[in-house]
Amino acid sequence: MTEFIQTADSNMKDINIRARNLLKETKLLNIARLAKMLVDLFGLDNQFKKMGKHEGQEVELVFPAFDGSITFILTSDREKFDCRLGKADNPASKIILKLKEDDILKVLSKIIRSKDNVFGLLKVGKLYILRKVKIKGSFGAAIALTKCLMIGKHEIYKNKK
């Protein structure tokens, strides 16, 4: 009888672990879809046209809080901007967001609402200085991705009087 209880208990633990992993994967997938949708709807073409030598490179956005990552493929055409869930095959850059689960959406929202100029990059740079964001690999590719995600210059963010 003791063996039966241990087996049932281990099955419950396994189900709980799988449910937690599914929840984390769903959150990552929603973040990836949100980024793609926002760039499709409100993205500005000027940053994509300035892609230059980074075109075709992969940038991996790693979320240790979710035990996963999102891979973005840099392109010079906004309509072809795409991302996928999972590790990059050959990343030019890895951006590691060392944040708690609750803070991830706040930080990503802050990045997205920023303007793609020097002042917007300084806002994001503050996260790097505070060691909340770590970049491995090409800084240029990481900055190119960040600029593509910044849609703060779009007319929806302008004050209407």
- pTM, full prediction: 0.82
Average pLDDT rounded to a whole number, residues 64-92: 91
Summarize pLDDT for 98-115 with one digit per residue, the tens. 999 889 988 888 888 888
Are the C-beta atoms of 54 and 140 separated by less than 8 Å? yes
Please state the domain count of the chain. 1
pLDDT at 65: 92
Q: Which domain holds residue 42?
A: 2-157
Residue 26's identity, in one-letter code, is: T
pLDDT at residue 2 above 50? no
Summarize pLDDT for 128-151 with one digit per residue, the tens. 899 999 999 999 999 999 998 888
Summarize pLDDT for 10-51 with one digit per residue, the tens. 777 888 888 888 999 999 999 999 988 988 888 888 888 888
28: CATH: 3.30.1050.10
Residue 8's identity, in one-letter code, is: A
Are the C-beta atoms of 101 and 65 separated by less than 8 Å? yes
Q: Quick one: 95 exposed, middle or buried, by C-beta within 10 A (0-12, 13-18, 19+)? A: buried
